[in-house]
Amino acid sequence: MSVIDLRSDTVTQPTAGMREAMLRAEVGDDVYGEDPTVKRLERHLASRLGFAEGLFVPTGTMSNLLGLMAHCERGDEYIVGQEAHTYKYEGGGAAVLGSIQPQPLAVEADGTLDLVRVAAAIKPDDFHFARTRLLALENTMQSKVLPLTYLAAARQLTREHGLALHLDGARLYNAAVKLGVEAREITQHFDSVSVCLSKGLGAPIGSVLCGSAELIGKARRLRKMVGGGMRQAGILAAAGLYALQHQVERLAEDHANAALLAEGLCELGYRVEPVQTNMVYVQLGPQAPALKGFLAERGVKVTAAERLRLVTHLDVSSADTRKVIEAFAAFRLH
């Protein structure tokens, strides 16, 4: 029985074309700056997003960490969403490894941070306080797309207060495809952006941090420090390049499947939150573990969360989506 895995878009298998690109990749020692494929990936994404340079790293967690550490010194502070990945899901790395204090703020229903509250959280220049240096946003934020007008306003606010602006763009391309714009329409507002190649884009490993030459120079030094200097990493970079060249537009299919799934579950009477991109959130309550077991027997893999997150990706077809709806229907009746 083939399994439909809806736990995350990180579970994708490399496609045949991607494996072929990996097999053929020209490689060298990237710590010596000699891997042509890594360099190609870094240049490709940086120029596509409107930045001077890019830096290939193994994970999005490292990419965000290096971004925060390159912007902020010890004793500095970054403003971030209470539910943001860079605050909540990265082991406190910015604080532990960078001595950077987070100032978390509640995330609004649309995935933004209220800019009035952001402004109020910026600390005055006073030796009692940490120095507020950076605002970190996330887009998509739990699958919600931040409006372009909001990004422009965030840019203006950070400029007025002398803050840097970082984007955790793990799913930047989901946002761009949903808005129907080039990704640089989004990234133009930021000083640095972290993009995951291993989420919906379907690469097995890798993220890229983009920014100015100075910022990426600092991040490159920090990458070595945290053990992220890789050698013949072109094999992995080739997968990322392939993803950026062939697997961006198809994200629209994931969004369509998520919409189909939401509609189907809604018709069955499940409490489904509005869907924007590739995630469907269902309010299940205490039946979550029973549902997980029931679906597993029918080849559908989900977590047991009471607020269940179902994620569509390149290994979930529209036929699979219909099968999932049928399995949920059977659970209603059993």
Q: Please tell me the distance from the alpha carbon of residue 101 to that of residue 95, in angstroms, as a whole number.
A: 6
Q: Please work out the total of residues on this chain that contact ligand PLP, with binding judged by CB under 6 A.
A: 12
Contact with ligand PLP (CB under 6 A): which of 172, 196, 235, 308?
196
Smallest distance from ligand PLP to CB 126, Å: 32
Closer Cβ to ligand PLP, 60 or 228, answer by number:
60
The C-alpha angle 304, 307, 311, rounded to 5 degrees, equals 75
Closer Cβ to ligand PLP, 201 or 260, answer by number:
201
11 lies in the binding site for ligand PLP (CB under 6 A): no
Smallest distance from ligand PLP to CB 52, Å: 23
DSSP code of residue 233: T
Q: Is the peptide bond before 61 cis (omega within 30 degrees of 0)?
A: no
Smallest distance from ligand PLP to CB 172, Å: 10
- 60-71 and 213-225 helices cross at what angle (nearest 10)? 120
Smallest distance from ligand PLP to CB 1, Å: 28
208 lies in the binding site for ligand PLP (CB under 6 A): no
Looking only at the bridges linking them, the beta strands covering 207-211 and 101-105 are unpaired
Q: Which residue is nearest to ligand PLP (CB)?
A: 60
Mark 46-75 with x for binding to ligand PLP (rule: CB under 6 A) and - for no binding.
-------------xxx--x-----------
Q: Please tell me the distance from the alpha carbon of residue 210 to that of residue 184, in angstroms, as a whole number.
A: 12
Smallest distance from ligand PLP to CB 107, Å: 12
211 lies in the binding site for ligand PLP (CB under 6 A): no
Q: Which of residues 83-142 bind ligand PLP (CB under 6 A)?
A: 85, 138
Q: Hey, what's the torsion of the CAs at 115, 116, 117, 118, to 10 degrees?
A: 40
Mark 157-186 with x for binding to ligand PLP (rule: CB under 6 A) and - for no binding.
-----------x-x----------------
Q: Please tell me the distance from the alpha carbon of residue 55 to that of residue 102, in angstroms, as a whole number.
A: 24
Yes or no: say if 93 and 102 are a contact pair by the CB < 8 Å rule. Answer: no
232 lies in the binding site for ligand PLP (CB under 6 A): no
Q: Please tell me the distance from the alpha carbon of residue 14 to that of residue 222, in angstroms, as a whole number.
A: 29
Q: CA nearest 219: which of 208, 233, 204?
A: 208
Smallest distance from ligand PLP to CB 173, Å: 13
Yes or no: say if 208 and 199 are a contact pair by the CB < 8 Å rule. Answer: no
Smallest distance from ligand PLP to CB 244, Å: 16
Q: CA nearest 82: which of 108, 63, 120?
A: 108
By the criterion CB under 6 A, which residues form the site for ligand PLP?
59-61, 64, 85, 138, 168, 170, 196, 198-199, 207
